[in-house]
Amino acid sequence: MAGGCVIQLFGRRVAWGRGCEWHRQSRNGQRRMAVLGQSPYCSAVEAPAVHHAVSGRVRRKILTLQSMNPQVRAVEYAVRGPIVLKAGEIEKELQNGVKKPFDEVIKANIGDAHAMGQQPITFLRQVVALCTYPDLLDNPSFPKDAKRRARRILESCSGQSLGSYSASQGVNCIREDVAKFIEKRDEGVPAHPDNIYLTTGASDGISSILKILVSGEGQSRTGVMIPIPQYPLYSAAISELDAIQVNYYLDEENCWALDVNELRRAFYRAKEYCSPKVLCIINPGNPTGQVQSKHCIEEVIHFALEEGLFLLADEVYQDNIYSKSCQFYSFKKVLYDMGPEYFNNVELASFHSTSKGYMGECGYRGGYMEVVNLHPDITAQLVKLLSVRLCPPVSGQAAMDVVVNPPQPGEESYEQFIREKDAILCNLAEKAELTEELFNQVPGIKCNPLQGAMYAFPRIFIPDKAIEKAKEHQMAPDMYYCMCLLEETGICVVPGSGFGQKEGTHHFRMTILPPVEKLKILLQKVKDFHMRFLEDYA
Amino acid sequence: MAGGCVIQLFGRRVAWGRGCEWHRQSRNGQRRMAVLGQSPYCSAVEAPAVHHAVSGRVRRKILTLQSMNPQVRAVEYAVRGPIVLKAGEIEKELQNGVKKPFDEVIKANIGDAHAMGQQPITFLRQVVALCTYPDLLDNPSFPKDAKRRARRILESCSGQSLGSYSASQGVNCIREDVAKFIEKRDEGVPAHPDNIYLTTGASDGISSILKILVSGEGQSRTGVMIPIPQYPLYSAAISELDAIQVNYYLDEENCWALDVNELRRAFYRAKEYCSPKVLCIINPGNPTGQVQSKHCIEEVIHFALEEGLFLLADEVYQDNIYSKSCQFYSFKKVLYDMGPEYFNNVELASFHSTSKGYMGECGYRGGYMEVVNLHPDITAQLVKLLSVRLCPPVSGQAAMDVVVNPPQPGEESYEQFIREKDAILCNLAEKAELTEELFNQVPGIKCNPLQGAMYAFPRIFIPDKAIEKAKEHQMAPDMYYCMCLLEETGICVVPGSGFGQKEGTHHFRMTILPPVEKLKILLQKVKDFHMRFLEDYA
């Protein structure tokens, strides 16, 4: 471009060239020629832009990496991190006809069921559609039980519209339904709608509770205990809040079980430099797939009571249990069974979501949290904090309502609902078994049973030479492994370093959501890649 | 209860009594008798609860006002503050048959159009319903243009489902539509989809941008300049982030106009104790209803460039312009018109929403922000920050798409759409005029013209004796005034102190959203109340 000009607009290069030959940047990022002033895209403005831009000097930015919020800078979120950005780039290349050793990118990085072809639960969508466009309430093709639920939700919305703000805590009748759902799930343990807060997915609830909990300076700064490996929302929220992350390690040798002795070790070690006040549990585990036993939960609750820890129980995978020998116990239920010393004292927030389970409605951003034993002053503070964001999306609240109030035996939609739900859960159980089995056939890959949730988190052996290569690229070894996997096969998984892992061990997280036949191909490709990788770096 | 027992469950009183006479707390908070163990509500659990609870001691809470996050404690959000909680209590009393001097509570505290009876835009709901339940795409009663839009949105969603996560920035085709909408609105000024971020209402975008901007300690802590009166999301976000709030006062004597000399005064005063880095503008104004002139916007932009301020333009009321003499100019458009020195340098984030305008779809939590001149490093940081919350609600994104891509002339739904839109906007304009006129007929109330947005923010004279009375109740004078108004008339408005006002002046914010006939009655009631109030405290 020697002697030429670059034309910028809002800091973005839009055209460059000299004399009669000018190029402009088109929307998909490809260079193309255009006669300025006749471009169909921004003809009205490009001519004056030439005039202006050439004379404008570019000043120093106000917002830079140096000047930005350092806590936000410190945030990492691997589930949508560099590997996923790379996957996006590769997808674009494929669209633009670039040749690759594969035809498509398979995003096994995130628990996004519908993206993998899972069909929505018909009844859920019927209810939400009826709420969205109430003219359909007269439409005979919608079942009566769906209409009943839609009418009930709308009657609890101001102006009978999903377009009104709900109360900050969520629509009243939906909170009532959540409370009934919890009571039924927990075999009668009482739940009160006042303790239920509808949220924008579970993430919003978890962030809000953490936000209210963090305080202190220096040694008295709040420590938040999280499992390693963890779901990186936790580490991200902790960074953002400038809290102290306290790691307790799950026991890979023992199916990723939680050992209360390890909790104790981590807690007492942390007391030397911060004030550990919060204990986060993910059950069923993400990324581990482990399902906690009742005994384990009792030990955790006892520990929390003794050491004065506020409990956060992330239970968004409560419907995703595959191992015949495992059962889901909610922390709330176990807390109750332990007697009044426990159920009148332990401060517990538990989280659920529309995004996982058999429904997989991630896009609706529906969720709830139940918070028990909160100090009344704090209840008011929490409601105030939530009120600033006005309310969770009301259509997501409606979706949550169907999850907690599904068709009942005798209702018109019951059979179809059960058929759809069972098909999805059976299919997931099959894929959980298949994945464990196939991974364990690969030398250098070791995978614990996928008792629940929707991920495999296999341990991978990475040869020393590959570790050196990774260092050259300034990458963690498992990041390098996953990048190679992506570039060679189009399969996008998340490196274990994004979740945390014991020093010297390497893993990746992969969802089991692709359809069975596709999953088989995917697992075979991972196997072939892994064997090649071992050979290449032998 | 001498000699009796109180039974708690999860820190909540559920039953109390002695001997054979036991009461339990029912869901609506009313006391009632029940034979324990036979209650239909939680029969299975109450009996053991008695046994347990009596023996359980209550420990000190972990999370208290003292131990909580002090920044969250400092947050205030008047739009849903104490007066609104009181209104909720009064509503419950009315439902329980308590006699009041009124039959209903009118919530004029929040811009919630559908709650006030405004009907949704048919086309918008049709498109969202089609996206929700794609079986309807075969239904002949839905117009073709709505189906076209729904198909286009679904094709841009993974797995063609609203239930998939979108990209963190939002669905691609919707961001493209937003960019086209902005180009058209701004008479050809280019907008790029990469600069568009879909958000969970405008609040989410504003909070995210502020979050990334705040840094420094002591004198170098980020100062955020906000108008007084402001929309309290700003002060709440600033508290939460522990940033420094820098007030600049709008000129009530001059129709709440922004005076750049006042900006300058506030800026230089603030430099003595912090590092003012962000300038927030609300145009059209909330709560003031003021619409800024092009000249004023030019002065603000010039000031921002000269002093190195990152601009936040809250433009959610851009469709709500009522005064014939006013026109909406976007900051982006004016920035462009000022030439390359400006448009290649000033870092600007502007915000829009589905919640206001003519559509009033608050519950969908749809919104977008356009950010220009962001440093590329910061673009990556912003995407990372947004990715932690995964994505904005996809149904809200679909609603946003209809707002930016409404029916066009020649399309099937065009006429109905325009009819509905115009009816709502004309009606709002009529109510804006009516409100100003009626308020200004009341001695002791003075109301600036409502040029735009959807609120009146009249100045009210409060007699000294009332101010003393307020002090006795430990309330701000206008809070006391609004509490009296609520208790005597059932009308819920927000005290000016929640938005900020010049020392010694008093105001309240009231929406103009109730239907015309109801609004007239409401204004008459306010008038009568005000006259009585002046008399009582004369």
Q: What is the DSSP string of B46-98?
A: HHHHHHHHHHPPPPPPSS-TTTS-HHHHH---GGGSHHHHHHHHHHHHHHTT-
Which residues in chain B are closer than 8 Å to A47, comparing Cβ atoms? none
Using a CB–CB cutoff of 8 Å, tell me whether B13 touches chain A.
no
Query: Which pLDDT value is given to residue A57?
Result: 73
Report the distance separating Cα A104 and Cα A88, nearest Å.
11
Provide mean pLDDT across the span A448-472.
97
**pLDDT more than 70, % of chain A:** 90
pTM of the model: 0.91
Which residues in chain B are closer than 8 Å to A362, comparing Cβ atoms? 163-165, 390-391
Token pair 């115009």 in the structure block, residue? B422
For domain A195-381+394-403, the question of CATH label 3.40.640.10 is answered with: yes
Which stretch of A28-37, A270-279, B229-238 has the lowest confidence by average pLDDT? A28-37
The two structure tokens encoding residue A70: 């350092």
Radius of gyration of chain A (CA): 26
Query: Which pLDDT value is given to residue B1?
Result: 39
Token pair 């003021």 in the structure block, residue? B290
Question: Distance (Å) from the C-alpha of residue B94 to the closest C-alpha of chain A?
Answer: 17
Chain A contact probe: residue of B344, B379, B391 with most A CBs at under 10 A? B344
Using a CB–CB cutoff of 8 Å, tell me whether A214 touches chain B.
yes
For domain B165-404, the question of CATH label 3.40.50.300 is answered with: no
| Secondary structure percentages of chain B, helix, strand, coil, to 5 | 45, 15, 40
Question: Distance (Å) from the C-alpha of residue A289 to the closest C-alpha of chain B?
Answer: 21
Report the distance separating Cα B83 and Cα B105, nearest Å.
12
Q: Which CATH superfamily is domain A74-117+418-536 in?
A: Aspartate Aminotransferase, domain 1 (3.90.1150.10)
Span(s) in chain B for CATH 3.90.1150.10: 74-117+418-536
Q: How far is CA A262 from CA A265, A275, A345, B174, in A?
A: 5, 17, 23, 48
Cβ of A165 and B61 within 8 Å? no
The two structure tokens encoding residue A152: 């009930």
Report the distance separating Cα B98 and Cα B115, nearest Å.
24
Cβ of A389 and B65 within 8 Å? no
Measured on CA atoms in the order A142, A148, A153, A157, is the torsion positive or negative?
Answer: positive
Using a CB–CB cutoff of 8 Å, tell me whether B213 touches chain A.
yes
Span(s) in chain A for CATH 1.10.287.1970: 120-164
Using a CB–CB cutoff of 8 Å, tell me whether B196 touches chain A.
no
Report the distance separating Cα B199 and Cα A483, nearest Å.
30
Using a CB–CB cutoff of 8 Å, tell me whether A29 touches chain B.
no
Using a CB–CB cutoff of 8 Å, tell me whether B220 touches chain A.
no
Q: How far is CA B293 from CA B257, B283, B371, in A?
A: 9, 10, 22
Taken as a whole, chain B contains a residue count of 538
Radius of gyration of chain B (CA): 26
Cβ of A192 and B12 within 8 Å? yes
Provide mean pLDDT across the span A241-250.
97
pLDDT (tens place) for every residue of chain B, 538 residues total: 344 556 677 777 665 555 445 455 544 444 433 333 333 333 333 333 333 344 467 789 999 999 999 999 999 887 777 898 899 899 999 999 999 999 999 999 999 999 999 999 999 999 999 999 999 999 999 999 999 999 999 999 999 999 999 999 999 999 999 999 999 999 999 999 999 999 999 999 999 999 999 999 999 999 999 999 999 999 999 999 999 999 999 999 999 999 999 999 999 999 999 999 999 999 999 999 999 999 999 999 999 999 999 999 999 999 999 999 999 999 999 999 999 999 999 999 999 999 999 999 999 999 999 999 999 999 999 999 999 989 999 999 999 999 999 999 999 999 999 999 999 999 999 999 999 999 999 999 999 999 999 999 999 999 999 999 999 999 999 999 999 999 999 999 999 999 999 999 999 999 999 999 999 999 999 999 999 999 999 9
Which residues in chain B are closer than 8 Å to A67, comparing Cβ atoms? 215, 277
Query: Which pLDDT value is given to residue B15?
Result: 59
pLDDT band, residue A85 (cuts 50/70/90): confident
Token pair 């539509």 in the structure block, residue? B177
> Residue A353: beta bridge partners?
A367
Beta carbons of B61 and A373 less than 8 angstroms apart = yes
DSSP H stretches of helix in A61-168: 70-74, 82-95, 122-132, 144-155
Report B:128-167 residues touching A (Cβ under 8 A): 128-129, 132-133, 136, 139, 157-159, 161-167
CA angle A198, B384, B346 (to 5 degrees): 110
Question: Distance (Å) from the C-alpha of residue A97 to the closest C-alpha of chain B?
Answer: 19
> Residue A508: beta bridge partners?
A495
Report A:288-347 residues touching B (Cβ under 8 A): 305, 308-310, 336, 339-345, 347
DSSP H stretches of helix in B224-290: 233-241, 260-270
pLDDT in tens, A43-63: 333 333 333 344 467 789 999
Kindly tell me the burial class for residue B85, based on how many C-beta atoms sit within 10 Å of its own C-beta (0-12, 13-18, 19 or more). middle
Give the helix/strand (H/E) hosting A257. none
Beta carbons of A239 and A75 less than 8 angstroms apart = yes
Report the distance separating Cα A140 and Cα A138, nearest Å.
6
Among A10, A213, A214, select the one facing B372 at the smallest CB separation: A10
How does the average pLDDT of chain A come out, rounded?
Answer: 91
Question: Distance (Å) from the C-alpha of residue B286 to the closest C-alpha of chain A?
Answer: 16
Strands of A109-221 (E only): list them.
196-200
Cβ of A62 and B236 within 8 Å? no
pLDDT band, residue A79 (cuts 50/70/90): confident
Is A30's pLDDT higher than 50?
no
Backbone φ and ψ of A535, nearest 5°: -65, -50
Backbone φ and ψ of A34, nearest 5°: -155, 145
Cβ of B345 and A56 within 8 Å? yes
Query: Which pLDDT value is given to residue A244?
Result: 97
Among A58, A70, A237, select the one facing B215 at the smallest CB separation: A70
DSSP H stretches of helix in B242-350: 260-270, 294-307, 331-337, 340-343
The two structure tokens encoding residue B492: 């819920």
Beta carbons of B170 and B368 less than 8 angstroms apart = yes
> Residue A351: beta bridge partners?
A314, A369
Provide DSSP, A435-472: HHHHHHTSTTEE-----BTTEE--EE---HHHHHHHHH
Provide DSSP, A42-86: THHHHHHHHHHHHHPPPPPPSS-TTTS-HHHHH---GGGSHHHHH
Question: Phi-psi category of B117—alpha, beta or left, where left has phi over 0 and alpha has psi -120 to 50?
Answer: left
Using a CB–CB cutoff of 8 Å, tell me whether A210 touches chain B.
no
Beta carbons of A211 and B211 less than 8 angstroms apart = no
Beta carbons of A25 and B388 less than 8 angstroms apart = no
Query: Peptide bond preceding A287: is omega within 30 degrees of 0, i.e. cis?
Result: yes
Question: Distance (Å) from the C-alpha of residue A177 to the closest C-alpha of chain B?
Answer: 13
Beta carbons of B356 and B202 less than 8 angstroms apart = no
Using a CB–CB cutoff of 8 Å, tell me whether A518 touches chain B.
no
Query: Which pLDDT value is given to residue A408?
Result: 97
Report the distance separating Cα A300 and Cα A29, nearest Å.
53
Which residues in chain B are closer than 8 Å to A171, comparing Cβ atoms? none
Using a CB–CB cutoff of 8 Å, tell me whether B41 touches chain A.
yes
Return all residues near B105 (Cβ < 8 A) that are at least 6 apart.
B87, B90, B91, B94, B486, B490, B491, B492
Query: Which pLDDT value is given to residue A144?
Result: 98
Q: Which residues of B226-235 are buried (b: 16+ CB within 10 A; e: fewer)?
A: bbbbbbbbbb
Question: Distance (Å) from the C-alpha of residue A110 to the closest C-alpha of chain B?
Answer: 9
For residue A261, count other CB atoms closer than 10 A to its CB: 11
Query: Which pLDDT value is given to residue B352?
Result: 98
Is A22's pLDDT higher than 70?
no
Question: Distance (Å) from the C-alpha of residue B378 to the closest C-alpha of chain A?
Answer: 6
- ipTM for the complex shown: 0.90
Among B63, B161, B372, select the one facing A114 at the smallest CB separation: B161
Query: Which pLDDT value is given to residue B76?
Result: 85
CATH fit for domain A120-164, picks 1.10.10.2840, 3.40.50.720, 3.40.1410.10, 1.10.287.1970: 1.10.287.1970
Report B:347-376 residues touching A (Cβ under 8 A): 347, 359-365, 372-375
For residue A74, count other CB atoms closer than 10 A to its CB: 13
Beta carbons of B231 and B287 less than 8 angstroms apart = yes
Long-range Cβ contact pairs of A322-327 (< 8 A, separation 24 or more): A322/A428, A322/A429, A322/A432, A322/A433, A322/A450, A322/A451, A322/A452, A323/A291, A323/A449, A323/A450, A323/A451, A323/A452, A326/A291, A326/A451, A326/A452, A327/A291, A327/A294
Using a CB–CB cutoff of 8 Å, tell me whether A420 touches chain B.
no
Among A116, A187, A347, select the one facing B159 at the smallest CB separation: A116
Report the distance separating Cα A269 and Cα A370, nearest Å.
30
Kindly tell me the burial class for residue B271, based on how many C-beta atoms sit within 10 Å of its own C-beta (0-12, 13-18, 19 or more). middle
Sheet of strand B494-495, all strands in order from the earlier edge strand to the far edge? B455-456, B508-511, B494-495
Beta carbons of B538 and B465 less than 8 angstroms apart = yes
Question: Distance (Å) from the C-alpha of residue B384 to the closest C-alpha of chain A?
Answer: 7
| Nearest chain A residue to B128, by CA | A132
Q: What is the DSSP letter of B154?
A: H
